[in-house]
Structure 1
């Protein structure tokens, strides 16, 4: 366990220390559960009232906080406590799993695959023909990379992930356990002979740089060309991205949400948990889709949509207010 002085922490945060300057911190914890010598965070004024009963020695707080730290305690005042929290967590993060071999003896790597410098490949991984793995990538045990895939520099792929043939993942990406990249898109048509005829999915998936994809999420390959995930997108666990969908840069998709086929998202779109988007629609830059919403048509840039079926937020709130009044009369 690391021990850091409050001043060492503030050297990174570049904030202002208020209170006891001699504290030694053993780790971070949420405000209700923190113990003495631990550091916590107050990112919103509603949590100020909890501080009096917290055992934490230090709190990272926003500059507009209205309370004092108290006896033998301290605040580190910063412009954005939530962002500072990520820096503190990084300081105290434990080391990642250990590799005793850069390439484990049980890994199967095709003779025509290319492996970059500093890359680590765990036990029972498979890397197929003509696959290219960049420099300083990490494949944890039981990862499958099939034929002609490319994996960028400094990308980490966690155990159980399958990257199907001809798919491409950029630099500095994180793919969490049991994700599937490049499974067949869901394409079938009625057929007199077969009942349902499968439509071949001959495209692939292209993932940009600094993308993170959560555990058990699926990104389907395109029927034609590519399903595209833009730079900086963050995708939660249990998310479905249908074939030929295109996500712009820095989009966020929360858990259990899904895109049907050929959905186009602009840059900076936020999709709440369990929201679903119909096929062949376009969502403009900066739009927000509320949790549990069902989107059936195009959404203009910067609009917020709520409900099932989804409508503009102001309309949804009016509808809910009317329903509430009806239920009480």
Structure 2
């Protein structure tokens, strides 16, 4: 796939200094780029590479002033990093949505509705009563359970499984191996010590622009819905239990586990291997650092939590300093005790 410098500038809403007719066929880091490549300069420590790069064009900021001659065309935008990210997204969408039509063998229920411009890969399954919007891409071996609804421009990658009654919004991405709608972990203890399964009859709902990573698992609700709100991004290998609610534009990194009925606010960040107990809540804009455990509700917005059980970041840092000094403090305490004991002897 090839574009001119002019076409790329139009996509980004930028202006050009240099040759507008150069042909771009790939994206590359500025220090590695060759002819036909597009790169960007967001961090000025990489500026020396601008004067030696083989790139055909480089995205720079509006106020950047070169200190030496530049052979590459410059595409000026307000934020080079954001501009390059938009271009990556444009490229990704262009290449992904190139797939159209139906591969065989695949299964489509007679009662399903499928919008225009979509793709269904070989061995994919779309069940009874499903509604697929326009330009929905279903890759091979994906399973779309009965009565599932998927919004326009959503992608379901190979091997993903959407249990019956799942609802997916527009422009969502569900990566390979993800499972949406498996039974929540609900079991009632019995007098004899055994456990009786509690039927899980709810569903999973993803609002628009949600991304679900590879092999992530999101359980259906016991009643109602497990809900992932608009724009949130769930990494690979994340587990969200029944009736969990994730707010808007929240990001959750790999190996995080959130127990049943917990609620995470808007614009939160949960780093890798965070554990969150059931029935607790996180206020908006909370950050939880890696390997931290959240065992109680956090009501104050904007906090950074660390530790297990997690508590205020600065308090935790002070506690860690004391913790590292415990052997020294123990020796000093023993010395004080010995001195006191010696002073008390007649």
Which structure would you say has the larger Rg? 2
Structure 1 residue matching 2:102: 3-state secondary structure: coil
Instruction: Give the alignment's TM-score, normalised by structure 2.
Output: 0.83
1:72-151 correspondence to structure 2 within 5 Å: 72-90=71-89, 92-93=91-92, 95-96=95-96, 99=99, 102-151=101-150
1:31-77 CA-to-partner distances (Å, cap 9, x unmatched) read 34333442223333444466566554543234565763644245434
Structure 2 residue matching 1:95: 3-state secondary structure: helix
Q: Which consecutive residues of structure 1, in runs of 5 or more, have no partner in the other structure?
A: none
Aligned residue for 1:196? Answer: 195
Aligned residue for 1:312? Answer: 312
> In 1, are the aligned partners of 2:97 and 2:135 still within 8 Å (CA)?
no
> In 1, are the aligned partners of 2:99 and 2:137 still within 8 Å (CA)?
no
Q: Which consecutive residues of structure 2, in runs of 5 or more, have no partner in the other structure?
A: 330-346
Structure 1 residue matching 2:96: 3-state secondary structure: coil
| Greater mean alpha carbon deviation, residues 316-325 or residues 212-221 | 316-325
Task: Please give the alpha-carbon distance, in whole angstroms, between the structure 2 residues aligned to 1:322 and 1:291.
Answer: 21
Structure 2 residue matching 1:60: 3-state secondary structure: strand
> In 2, are the aligned partners of 1:136 and 1:155 still within 8 Å (CA)?
yes
Q: 1:126 offset after TM fit, Å?
A: 1.4
Task: Please give the alpha-carbon distance, in whole angstroms, between the structure 2 residues aligned to 1:308 and 1:66.
Answer: 48
Q: 1:21 offset after TM fit, Å?
A: 6.4
How many residue pairs match? The answer is: 327
Residues 36, 133 of structure 1: alpha-carbon distance in 2 compared, 3 angstrom cutoff? closer
Task: Please give the alpha-carbon distance, in whole angstroms, between the structure 2 residues aligned to 1:213 and 1:167.
Answer: 14
Task: Please give the alpha-carbon distance, in whole angstroms, between the structure 2 residues aligned to 1:322 and 1:40.
Answer: 47
Task: Please give the alpha-carbon distance, in whole angstroms, between the structure 2 residues aligned to 1:17 and 1:69.
Answer: 17
Task: Please give the alpha-carbon distance, in whole angstroms, between the structure 2 residues aligned to 1:230 and 1:129.
Answer: 26
Task: Please give the alpha-carbon distance, in whole angstroms, between the structure 2 residues aligned to 1:66 and 1:137.
Answer: 44
Residues 67, 296 of structure 1: alpha-carbon distance in 2 compared, 3 angstrom cutoff? farther
Structure 1 residue matching 2:95: 3-state secondary structure: coil
Aligned residue for 2:155? Answer: 156
Aligned residue for 1:214? Answer: 213
Instruction: Give the alignment's TM-score, normalised by structure 1.
Output: 0.86
Residues 220, 85 of structure 1: alpha-carbon distance in 2 compared, 3 angstrom cutoff? same
1:163-182 correspondence to structure 2 within 5 Å: 163-182=162-181
Residues 319, 78 of structure 1: alpha-carbon distance in 2 compared, 3 angstrom cutoff? farther
Task: Please give the alpha-carbon distance, in whole angstroms, between the structure 2 residues aligned to 1:19 and 1:315.
Answer: 54
> In 2, are the aligned partners of 1:266 and 1:285 still within 8 Å (CA)?
yes
